[in-house]
C-alpha cells in the first residue's frame, strides 16, 4: 500500500477490524518510512452496477462520488467520517439487493436522503437542495416546513 503522505510502498498493519455490517475490513496502517498512520478499507468486489443518469447516459456506480456528496452535505456538522462511510456502504448494499445491473441515479439520491434525514436535518436539507435542484425559495421553504413540523410533533410527544 502506498503511503498517502510520503509515497513509500511499505507499511505495517497496526489494527484490522470488520465494519459494523461486516461487508468490509478497516485497516489502520503505519508507514515504515515516515511513521504516519492512515486507514484503508477492503471491500468484496461485486458486479458492477451501472447508474442511469437523468439524460439516459450510463456510468459505473462510484462510491467515492456518493461519499463526496455526503461529505459536502455534512460539512461542519457533528458527523464522523466513519458514519458517512457507513451510509455509503448501506446505500451500496441496498442497491445490490434491489437492482440487478442498473439503478436510476434518482433512486441513489433518495436512499442517501433517507439516511441523512434520520441522521441530521441540516445535512439532509443541504443534500436535498442540491439533489432536488429546488427551482425557487418556495420549494426550499416547503421542505423546511416539513422538517420543522416533524420536529415540533416529536417535542410535543415527549
CA neighbor of 49 nearest in space, from 1, 92, 3: 92
8, three cell numbers: 513509500
For residue 24, give the nearest of 79, 111, 92 by alpha carbon. Answer: 92
Contact indicator for 51, 61 with CB cutoff of 8 Å = yes
* Contact present, 113 and 127 (Cβ < 8 Å): yes
Q: Is the pLDDT of residue 128 over 90?
A: no
**Predicted TM-score (pTM) of this structure:** 0.65
Residues 16, 27 contacting (CB under 8 angstroms): yes
129 and 83 in a common domain? yes
Residue 40 in grid coordinates = 484503508
Boundaries of domain holding 20: 1-45
Is 62 found in the same domain as 34?
A: no
Q: What was the pLDDT predicted at 155?
A: 67
Indicate whether 88 and 32 sit together in one domain. Answer: no
Q: What is the per-residue pLDDT across 61-115, written as a single tens digit (0 to 9) for each?
A: 999 999 999 999 999 999 999 999 999 999 999 998 999 899 999 999 999 999 9
Same domain? For 22 and 90 the reply is: no
Could you report the per-residue pLDDT of 1-48, keeping only the tens digit for each?
899 999 999 999 999 998 767 778 999 999 999 999 999 988 877 678
Amino acid at each position: 500500500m502506498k503511503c498517502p503522505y510520503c509515497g513509500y510502498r511499505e507499511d505495517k498493519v497496526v489494527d484490522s477490524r470488520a465494519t459494523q455490517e461486516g461487508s468490509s475490513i478497516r485497516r489502520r496502517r503505519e508507514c515504515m518510512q515516515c511513521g504516519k498512520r492512515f486507514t484503508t478499507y477492503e471491500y468484496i468486489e461485486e458486479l458492477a452496477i451501472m447508474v442511469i443518469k437523468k439524460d439516459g447516459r450510463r456510468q459505473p456506480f462510484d462510491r467515492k462520488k456518493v461519499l463526496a456528496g455526503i461529505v459536502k452535505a455534512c460539512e461542519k456538522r457533528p458527523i464522523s467520517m466513519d458514519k458517512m462511510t457507513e451510509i455509503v456502504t448501506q446505500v451500496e448494499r441496498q442497491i445490490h439487493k434491489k437492482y440487478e445491473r442498473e439503478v436510476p441515479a434518482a433512486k441513489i439520491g433518495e436512499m442517501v436522503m433517507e439516511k441523512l434525514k434520520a441522521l441530521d436535518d441540516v445535512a439532509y436539507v443541504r443534500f436535498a437542495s442540491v439533489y432536488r435542484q429546488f427551482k425557487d425559495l418556495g420549494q426550499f421553504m416547503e421542505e423546511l416546513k416539513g422538517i420543522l413540523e416533524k420536529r415540533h410533533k416529536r417535542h410535543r410527544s415527549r
